[in-house]
Amino acid sequence: MDANLPAAIGFLAEVRQDSARPPEPVFAARAFRARWHERTADRSLHTVLLHFGAPDEAYAREAGRTLVFAGELYNRDELLGLLPGRVLPGSDAALVIALFDVYGIHAFRLLNGRFAALLADRERAVAATDHAGSMPLYVSVAPGQVLAATEAKALRGAAPRGRSFPQGRPFPQGRPVRRRPGICQVPAGSVLDIQVSTGLCVAHRTWTPPAARRILPEDEAVDTVRRALERAVRSRTGPGTPLVVLSGGIDSSAVAALAAHRSAGPIDTVSMGTDQADEFAQARVVARHIGSVHQEITVPTGDLLRGLPHAVWAAECTDPDVIEYLLPLTALYLRLGDTRNDGDPGGDGDTGGDRGTARRILTGYGADIPLGGMHRESRLAQLDTAVCHDMDTFDGLNEMTPTLSAMAGHWSTHPYWDRDVLDVLVSLEAGLKRRHGRDKWVLRAALSDALPHEVVVRPKLGVHEGSGTTSSFSRLLTDAGIPKGFVRQAKRLVVEEIYDQVVVEGRHPDEVALDAVVELISERAAHHPHPIPR
């Protein structure tokens, strides 16, 4: 077991009244795989676990219940304080099952983490996501059978065919999965309480984005943000040397600076660019300032775009904007092995965790959502409208999924989407987010002593812009004859077509011919009478 990594990063679990065995699932995430089976008087539990060498740590058993837990917790100390007089649980799974014994399903309201969990409790199955649904969780429920998996594609072939529920959804809040009737995604910040015999599901929210706004003096707001972010970075860095994916923008530079502060030795940072665009100079300023061991990876644009099927396969998302954000990061993660002196870019499909190359990666992803940074909006009313909209619509996009890096055998985590950081950032009144003519003012002010001034004031540049991904994807389509006014729709159609091939039909991303997909969409565009710009 590598203490630097979570015990497990994904699973397929099946709870049944009879004892059939689920077929071998496909996952994009790469790690060791362990199969495990348990039969009690009431039910059987089968699991396929993706782990880093100590699968037992991802299971816990207590009082006739069994918990399967993928991911990790960030408020262990607080949680341990709730269990006085007990033998302190060693693993996160053991901690959660001990809390369940005391609090029942409300235990999930206590957790600040990045996880997905399935608990088999006699005739009940309980499925839970973290507050942000940052590790996706899909379920398929039929009377007598409950399946849960951290990737939708893992339920291919295992899910019951019949649609036993209205619209294929066992509970009204379930997010339907494109072209996979019978499978639905568990919403962010939810716990699903399922009666196995009937398939009856009740969903409870364990977290919702704050709706109120706090009015704080500048100093207090700045101090609150700094402390929350420091704690989130600290609880995510683990005992090893962390690796921060660094653009040189304020979000990732803040994470890198705080990780460097708490690290005994230099931390690692890495930046990606393409032959079209990079932010290498800006990232270098930060790396030099914090004394990190810094690397730059240049990805040829053709290779970057050929990674589209991999990004869609990992994220299981059909939103073309999100795929543009995730594509450069996917390309970076897949090339991290290239930056090592051992020259080993990773292992085969099932054993990503066995070579000692798996890294714990911190990102600055997601800071712009609670702070409204994407919107370049100076009017406070519109800024808060944008924040509300983004907080209402992130669920189901899977942009935070650990599978993006797990596809390359690594574990990634996003401090800005720590539950406490998010609560603070969302709830600050908009005038603290946009202030003195700057976007994300409160964050910039909170890091002003830790980073060079030019970094603190540097305007926002999204990863899709800084790497030239958006423009390269557009050019791929216009070069194929797609009219400019149709490019946005065409991107969506390309991403959906890829999704259908790799998620719905179960093809490996290496088998997807991107040129053929683009040609198909270009032919459709040619027959489209009125391209309508979105």
Please, are residues 402 and 412 in contact by the beta-carbon 8 Å criterion? Answer: yes
Shortest approach of ligand AMP to residue 113 CB, angstroms?
Answer: 20
372 binds ligand AMP, rule: CB under 6 A: no
The residue type of 154 is A
CA neighbor of 150 nearest in space, from 129, 170, 173, 165: 129
252 binds ligand AMP, rule: CB under 6 A: yes
404 binds ligand PCX, rule: CB under 6 A: no
Element of type H or E holding 36? strand 32-39
Distance CA 279, CA 461 (A): 9
Distance CA 287, CA 301 (A): 25
Distance CA 162, CA 179 (A): 14
443 binds ligand PCX, rule: CB under 6 A: no
Sequential DSSP letters for 237-298: S-SS--EEE--SSHHHHHHHHHHHHH-SSPPEEEEEEESS---HHHHHHHHHHHT-EEEEEE
Which of 74, 325 has the CB closer to ligand PCX?
325
CA neighbor of 96 nearest in space, from 65, 133, 125, 122: 65
CA diameter of the chain: 72
Contacted by 363, from ligand AMP, ligand PCX, Mg ion, none: CB < 5 to 8 Å by type:
ligand AMP
Shortest approach of ligand AMP to residue 122 CB, angstroms?
Answer: 43
Please, are residues 7 and 55 in contact by the beta-carbon 8 Å criterion? Answer: yes
Contacted by 174, from ligand PCX, Mg ion, ligand AMP, none: CB < 5 to 8 Å by type:
none
Q: How many Cβ atoms are within 10 Å of 513's Cβ, its own excluded?
A: 12
Applying CB under 6 A, among 70, 116, 233, 332 the residue interacting with ligand AMP is 332
Applying CB under 6 A, among 12, 245, 315, 323 the residue interacting with ligand AMP is 245
- Residue list 334-373, contact with ligand PCX (CB under 6 A): 365-369
Query: Is residue 229 exposed (0-12), middle (13-18) or buried (19+ Cβ within 10 Å)?
Result: buried
The residue type of 346 is G
Which of 10, 366 has the CB closer to Mg ion?
366
Computed on alpha carbons and rounded to an integer, the radius of gyration of the chain in Å comes to 23
State the DSSP code for 394: -
Tell me the residue number closest to ligand PCX, measured at CB. 368
374 binds ligand PCX, rule: CB under 6 A: yes
462 binds ligand AMP, rule: CB under 6 A: yes
- Nearest-5° Cα angle at 321, 315 to 327: 50
- Residue list 211-250, contact with Mg ion (CB under 5 A): 247, 249
199 binds Mg ion, rule: CB under 5 A: no
467 binds ligand AMP, rule: CB under 6 A: yes
Applying CB under 6 A, among 60, 141, 243, 463 the residue interacting with ligand AMP is 463
Which of 353, 415 has the CB closer to ligand PCX?
415
394 binds ligand PCX, rule: CB under 6 A: yes
Which of 368, 496 has the CB closer to ligand AMP?
368
> Of 325, 333, 365, 416, which residue is the catalytic one?
365
397 binds ligand PCX, rule: CB under 6 A: yes
Shortest approach of ligand PCX to residue 365 CB, angstroms?
Answer: 5
Shortest approach of ligand PCX to residue 362 CB, angstroms?
Answer: 13
Q: Tell me the three state secondary structure of residue 120.
A: strand
Contacted by 369, from ligand AMP, Mg ion, ligand PCX, none: CB < 5 to 8 Å by type:
ligand PCX
390 binds ligand PCX, rule: CB under 6 A: yes
Q: Is 138 a known active-site residue?
A: no
Tokens of 435: 């202030």
242 binds ligand AMP, rule: CB under 6 A: no
- Residue list 337-366, contact with ligand AMP (CB under 6 A): 363-365
Which of 277, 512 has the CB closer to ligand AMP?
277
Sequential DSSP letters for 395-462: TTS-TT-THHHHTTT-EEE-GGGSHHHHHHHHHB-HHHHSBTTBTTHHHHHHTTTTS-HHHHTPPP--
Shortest approach of ligand PCX to residue 443 CB, angstroms?
Answer: 11
| Span near ligand AMP by CB under 6 A; candidates 91-99, 132-140, 305-313, 460-468 | 460-468
- Residue list 459-518, contact with ligand PCX (CB under 6 A): 462-464
Applying CB under 6 A, among 14, 72, 251, 384 the residue interacting with ligand AMP is 251
Sheet of 175-176: strand order equals 32-39, 44-51, 8-16, 145-149, 138-142, 184-185, 175-176
Tokens of 58: 């991802």
Q: What are phi and psi of 329, to 5 degrees?
A: -70, -40
Conformation bin of residue 384: beta by default, left when phi > 0, alpha when psi is -120 to 50: alpha
Applying CB under 6 A, among 206, 237, 241, 271 the residue interacting with ligand AMP is 271
Q: Which residues bind ligand AMP (CB under 6 A)?
A: 245-247, 249, 251-252, 271-273, 279, 329, 332, 363-365, 368, 462-463, 466-467
Q: Which active-site residues does the annotation give?
A: 365, 399, 460
Enumerate binding residues for Mg ion (CB under 5 A): 247, 249
Tell me which residues touch ligand PCX (CB under 6 A): 325, 365-369, 374, 390, 394, 397, 399, 462-464
